[in-house]
Structure 1
Amino acid sequence: MTAPEELSQDTRRFLTGLGLETDGHEALWLEALTHGSLGAPRNYERLEFLGDRVLGLIIADWLYEQSDQAEGKLSQRLNALVSREMCARQARAIGLPPHIRLGKQAREDGGADSDNILGDVMEALLGVSFLTRGFEPTRALVRTIWSDAMSGRAGHAKHPKSALQEWAAGNRRKVPEYEVVERSGPDHAAVFTVRVSIKGVGEAEASGTSKQEAEKRAAAAFMEKFG
């Protein structure tokens, strides 16, 4: 399948509405919005790699500016605010899903609503913003998009896996063991089911669109059941 070489008018309006310039940078924006299933020569993966680091620096700088908390608490909030699930949430909030360029099968399989894909494309857009406009405008964009998340409760509570590990240690139990018991769906919309168990206590299972998300949910389910 041959990918179109121009942005649609709807996508141009979407990008300019975010304050992003498309003129002279069309190839980069096409790349950032293109999933590998489309069969185009380039997709978003390299730009996502860059955008991930840009986002991490912007959020770390923002947290340092806002708070005098210790490093551990700052890291806890940083991890929550830059997680794939959070990036996917922001992608939905700005209306990104219909602008992602997917192959027919990937779109039919729900790829436009996959946390994995949405999170990656969100980071790819930030990568292009950094390349075409520089750090300061990209920081301003992130601060606009992430403002509600930053002012909310994201990352204030301890990560469920950390909470479970501390619970096990405090109750003189063995460390939790995580096992992927099922993986279903195509690569671009995979669902993982993870079982977490502690010898002598019990086990719990949960599913997610990534192994990490499934582990987090399984840990939370275990704490709800046995904690």
Structure 2
Amino acid sequence: MNGCSAARKGELLALAQRLGVTFHDIGLLHTALIHTSYANEAQGRVAHNERLEFLGDAVLELASSTYLYTHFPTLPEGELTKTRASIVCSAALAKIAARLGLGEYLLLGHGEEMSGGRARTTNLEDAFEAVLGAIYLDQGWETARDYALRQLAPEFDQVRHGENLQDYKTLLQELVQKTPGSTIAYELLEATGPDHAKHYRYAVVIDGKTCGEGEGSSKKEAEQQAARMALARQKK
């Protein structure tokens, strides 16, 4: 089972119980939690979770798209696209993964472990998508769809109350402009991954001081998340 020990199997069964899923093949859950760094150190003896992540991403997109189309019949196509992007953004998926405790079960390479990879947004996001892909392969579309929608329920509630459709960059810009002479800029901190799947990390800098950081699969998403963090700090 992809190099899974008896002890690891016991941990995975406990996780499956926490997830509320009874796997026919617990090996799928095991693979979903193997980071590329771990697989690389194992020199190809185990498979990593990227293929399952690919499947889970597709499940998320179709499940969320169908839900929004059905439950928000007045939203035009452009708003549906923006809303879906805000619901399945990196920060939201990482938050779900953290809530489920997936970080505790990740298998990481030594360097990734030492650099805080267990709590890294990208790793948590990828783990959640991979677990969803594992559920899809093991249980089928309907179970995977329902599981995704249950986990995304808080995000859908925010949309329902109009809290998820805000343009955080515009809101922050308006706030900063209330102070004459204040400046705001977005700085690229990191861009990782291949060209077809880039991941960005941006900081928002107000009057020379970093006030928030954000991550995302596009520059726009990362900047929006940075602005969102800055706004949250302004309210405290």
Question: Which residue of structure 2 aligns with residue 56 of structure 1?
Answer: 61
Question: Which residue of structure 1 aligns with residue 128 of structure 2?
Answer: 122
Contact persistence 2:87–2:156 (CA under 8 A): yes
Matched, 1:157 2:165: yes
The one of 87, 104, 108 equivalent to 1:102 is: 108
Residues 1:128 and 1:73: Cα distance change in structure 2 (over 3 Å): same
Question: Which residue of structure 2 aligns with residue 38 of structure 1?
Answer: 38
Question: Which residue of structure 1 aligns with residue 224 of structure 2?
Answer: 216
Contact persistence 2:155–2:164 (CA under 8 A): no
Provide, for residues 128-169 of structure 1, a one-character-per-residue CA deviation record: whole Å limited to 9, x for no partner: 1111111111112112211122112487324446x49xx9xx
For structure 2, the 5+ residue unaligned runs are 175-184, 193-198, 232-236
Hey, what's the Cα distance between the residues in 2 that align with 1:19 and 1:65?
26
Contact persistence 1:76–1:155 (CA under 8 A): no
Contact persistence 2:117–2:123 (CA under 8 A): yes
Amino acid at match of 1:22: F
Q: How many residues align?
A: 203
Pairwise CA distance, 1:127? 0.7
Question: Which residue of structure 2 aligns with residue 17 of structure 1?
Answer: 18
Hey, what's the Cα distance between the residues in 1 that align with 2:66 and 2:105?
30
Amino acid at match of 1:46: R
Pairwise CA distance, 1:99? 1.0
Pairwise CA distance, 1:194? 5.1
Residues 1:60 and 1:203: Cα distance change in structure 2 (over 3 Å): farther
Hey, what's the Cα distance between the residues in 1 that align with 2:92 and 2:104?
18
For structure 1, the 5+ residue unaligned runs are 168-176, 197-201, 223-227
Pairwise CA distance, 1:91? 0.7
Question: Which residue of structure 2 aligns with residue 82 of structure 1?
Answer: 88
Question: Which residue of structure 2 aligns with residue 170 of structure 1?
Answer: none
Hey, what's the Cα distance between the residues in 2 that align with 1:134 and 1:158?
35
Hey, what's the Cα distance between the residues in 2 that align with 1:109 and 1:191?
18
Hey, what's the Cα distance between the residues in 2 that align with 1:125 and 1:218?
27
Hey, what's the Cα distance between the residues in 1 that align with 2:227 and 2:96?
25
Taking structure 1 as the reference length, the TM-score comes to 0.72
Contact persistence 1:34–1:44 (CA under 8 A): yes
Hey, what's the Cα distance between the residues in 1 that align with 2:135 and 2:108?
21
Taking structure 2 as the reference length, the TM-score comes to 0.70
Contact persistence 2:36–2:48 (CA under 8 A): yes
- Tell me the SS of whatever aligns to 2:134: helix
Question: Which residue of structure 2 aligns with residue 225 of structure 1?
Answer: none
Deviates more, 1:62-71 or 1:211-220: 211-220
Contact persistence 2:215–2:223 (CA under 8 A): no
Amino acid at match of 2:57: D
Contact persistence 2:23–2:138 (CA under 8 A): no
Hey, what's the Cα distance between the residues in 2 that align with 1:5 and 1:45?
21
- Tell me the SS of whatever aligns to 1:208: strand
